[in-house]
């Protein structure tokens, strides 16, 4: 089962290394890890998506709360948080297929942010499910490169 964990930390040297080291040291599998400063320059928010059962989740949260510089740890249960992810995908698109790629992007409220003679870069902000659906439709054209931010989440 996938769990989204929000960790508010002091914005200090080595905090990310300690947090990510705790995950790897305990054998927790991280699907995505996202870190950025908050509105308060002294704090950063780490959003981690991990796989595991309830016992693993409970152990993970307890271990995170013990770490130095961790201010708050919160597990977002399904529906408790607003989540989004950003993806940039470079897809093969020549003069014959460019219109179809644009149509698919438009259907998912994505936009083409760069065009070249043989490819296009599509940007999309959305849920994991919508991003996966978009990527599934773009796959037949040939995905050349892909970059995803990982899940961001805030409690509703």
The one-digit pLDDT tens for each residue of the chain (156 residues) are 889 999 999 999 999 999 999 998 888 889 999 999 999 999 999 999 999 899 999 999 999 999 999 999 999 988 889 999 999 999 999 999 999 999 999 999 999 999 999 999 999 999 999 999 999 999 999 999 999 998 999 998
Number of domains the chain contains? 2
pTM: 0.84
**Helix or strand or coil: residue 69?**
coil
Q: Are residues 64 and 104 in the same domain?
A: no
- Name the domain boundary from 78, 99, 129: 78
What range defines the domain where residue 96 resides? Answer: 82-155
* Whole-angstrom Cα Rg for the chain: 18
d(CA 83, CA 125) in angstroms, rounded, equals 10
**Helix or strand or coil: residue 13?**
coil
d(CA 93, CA 42) in angstroms, rounded, equals 44
Q: Are residues 69 and 109 in the same domain?
A: no
Which element (helix H / strand E) includes 62? helix 54-66
């Amino acid at each position: 089962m996938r769990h989204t964990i929000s960790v508010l930390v002091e914005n200090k040297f080595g905090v990310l290394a300690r947090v990510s080291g705790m995950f790897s040291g305990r054998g927790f599998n991280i699907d995505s890890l996202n870190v950025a400063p908050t509105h308060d320059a002294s704090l950063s928010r780490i959003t981690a998506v991990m796989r595991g059962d309830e016992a693993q989740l409970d152990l993970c949260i307890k271990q995170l709360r013990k770490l130095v510089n961790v201010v708050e740890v919160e597990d977002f249960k399904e529906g408790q948080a607003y989540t989004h992810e950003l993806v940039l995908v470079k897809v093969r698109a020549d003069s014959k297929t460019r219109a179809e790629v644009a149509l698919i992007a438009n259907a998912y409220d994505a936009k083409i942010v760069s065009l070249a003679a043989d490819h296009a870069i599509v940007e999309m902000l959305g849920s994991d499910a919508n991003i996966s659906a978009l990527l599934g439709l773009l796959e037949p054209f040939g995905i050349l490169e892909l970059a995803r931010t990982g899940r961001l989440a805030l409690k509703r």
